[in-house]
Amino acid sequence: MAEGWASMTKIVGATALGLAILPAIVAAVRQNPSQQPPTFRTSTEIVLIDTQVVAKDGTPIQGLKADQFEVFIDGRRRPVVSAEFSRATESSSDVGRRAIRPESPQARNGRIIVLAIDQASFPSSARASAREAATRVVDRVAPEDYLGLIAFPGSIEIAPTRDRSPVREALESVSGLRVEALSSRFNLSAADAVVLKSRESVTTKEIIGRECKDRLDPVCPQQVMQEGGAIADILEQQAILAVAGIDGVLDAMTPLPGRKTLMLISAGLPMSNRSGGRLALDAETTRIGRRAAAANVNLYVLYMNIHFLRYFSPEYGKKNSSIFDDISLFGYGLEKFADSGGGGFFQVEVDSDPFVDRALRETSAAYVLAVRAEPEDHDGKDHFIRVAVKQKGATIRYRRIVTIPR
């Protein structure tokens, strides 16, 4: 991976999106090149925050002024000095609207977009859905965009390029590598398994009662617990593989210049929203969000909900009594990752087209907010950011964590 991606860094260094910011601020930042993370570039007094503001259909909203934004650092409001808008490119879904829209004064040099496919989240029978969603992205990115591909685990890696041919060719090799965690003796779902593994007293009794009510075997409760634990262990390994895969993608994207977009295609990352239970990966989502900020990466997720149709298909063969809990279990972690990475989460039931179009519209432009920090903010530690905008019907996306140098 290193050689191809290193050469990519040189190729796009001069053409990657450079958001327009005040010359004086740029000069101040350049005096401190060691400051991290680059997403939240800082001078002695100024913190720069990349922010997307979009309408209900994902179209970037132009013309907002600094006084329409509110920025809070650790809950304390900070003055917004300027708000500069820059358009990276025009997504293919916006071409038809070009005639009625004024041209942006900033040059459109194209985005850097990396498609990441979690092959271990897809069973072999559902690999076509992963390929189809990825193909939709390839079809819709603008000609000036750089598009790369990583499928993990595995060796499919295409450094970002304007040539779509190698990406299309590589997609033909994308597989479904998911190890099925299906109950053999009992009708246990993934959500059931997580509950059994965490030994929640009330719900555990309900599951055991359901599975053992027609069985005379006195060891049935123990067998249910054992089988649930085994399924939960497989799910935990799947989650660990997914997190490691995302880490690897961020490793590859970090050296690339400018603002980047990671579009993750996954059939689910099993994560429980029960505090203290198994598969509680909140610390990992926070860490990934911090890494994305440091690498100047926005994380968008297409959650391919293959679970509903599969659980009611002849292939699966058993009725799932908690199908919606399973759908939430596999989607919750992905949604947390997207939120921490300053991007969007889209649950795809059948057709990925509208979600791909929206993601590409959203990432076609952004604001850079120049925010005045207070002396106590400059402590070299993580700070939590909240951004609000005075614009009716707007959705705002930004990364939640900033490290402000001393």
Please say if the pLDDT value at position 90 is more than 70.
no
Please say if the pLDDT value at position 181 is more than 80.
no
Cα 47 to chain centroid, rounded? 24
Please say if the pLDDT value at position 130 is more than 60.
yes
Please say if the pLDDT value at position 85 is more than 60.
yes
Residue the block writes with tokens 């075997």: 217
Please say if the pLDDT value at position 106 is more than 50.
no
Q: Return the structure tokens found at 187.
A: 């009708």
Q: What is residue 73's predicted lDDT score, i.e. its pLDDT?
A: 95
Please say if the pLDDT value at position 351 is more than 80.
yes
Task: Select the more confidently predicted residue: 158 or 333.
Answer: 158
All structural domains of the chain: 2-108+364-403 (no CATH), 112-176+244-362 (3.40.50.410)
Q: What is residue 17's predicted lDDT score, i.e. its pLDDT?
A: 36
Categorize the per-residue pLDDT at 27 as very low, low, confident or very high, splitting at 50, 70 and 90: very low
Categorize the per-residue pLDDT at 380 as very low, low, confident or very high, splitting at 50, 70 and 90: confident
Please say if the pLDDT value at position 280 is more than 60.
yes
Backbone angles phi, psi at 272, to 5 degrees: -90, 145
> For residues 310 and 87, what is the distance between their CA atoms, to the nearest angstrom?
41
Amino acid at 75: G
Categorize the per-residue pLDDT at 8 as very low, low, confident or very high, splitting at 50, 70 and 90: low
Please say if the pLDDT value at position 93 is more than 60.
no
Q: Cβ-count burial of 321 within 10 angstroms (0-12 exposed, 13-18 middle, 19+ buried)?
A: middle
Contacts of residue 322, defined as CB under 8 A and 6 or more positions apart, other chains included, come to 189, 191, 192
> Omega into 153 within 30° of 0, i.e. cis?
yes
Is the CB of residue 406 less than 8 Å from the CB of residue 380?
yes
Q: What is residue 317's predicted lDDT score, i.e. its pLDDT?
A: 53
pLDDT tens digits, 184-208: 788 898 889 988 988 877 889 999 9
The region of weakest confidence among 8-12, 64-68, 247-251 is 8-12
Q: What is residue 179's predicted lDDT score, i.e. its pLDDT?
A: 80
Q: What is residue 284's predicted lDDT score, i.e. its pLDDT?
A: 86
Q: What is residue 392's predicted lDDT score, i.e. its pLDDT?
A: 94
Q: What is residue 200's predicted lDDT score, i.e. its pLDDT?
A: 75
Please say if the pLDDT value at position 318 is more than 80.
no
Mean pLDDT, the chain, rounded, equals 83
Categorize the per-residue pLDDT at 39 as very low, low, confident or very high, splitting at 50, 70 and 90: very low
Show the 3-state SS of the chain: CHHHHHHHHHHHCCCCCCCCCCHHHHHHHHCCCCCCCHHHCECCCEEEEEEEEECCCCCECCCCCHHHEEEEECCEEECEEEEEEEECCCCHHHHHHHHHCCCCCCCCCCCEEEEEEEHHHCCHHHHHHHHHHHHHHHHHCCCCCEEEEEEECCCEEEEEECCCHHHHHHHCCCCCCCCCCCCCCCCCCHHHHHHHHHCCHHHHHHHHHHHHCCCCCCCHHHHHHHHHHHHHHHHHHHHHHHHHHHHHHHHHHCCCCCCEEEEEEECCCCCCCCCCCCCCCHHHHHHHHHHHHHCCEEEEEEEECCHHHHHCCCCCCCCCCCHHHHHHHHHHHHHHHHHHCCCCEEEECCCCHHHHHHHHHHCCEEEEEEEECCHHHCCCCEEEEEEEECCCCCEEECCCEEECCC
Q: What is residue 241's predicted lDDT score, i.e. its pLDDT?
A: 92
Percent of the chain with pLDDT strictly greater than 90: 54
Percent of the chain with pLDDT strictly greater than 70: 79
Cα 348 to chain centroid, rounded? 14
Please say if the pLDDT value at position 386 is more than 90.
yes
Is the CB of residue 387 less than 8 Å from the CB of residue 396?
yes
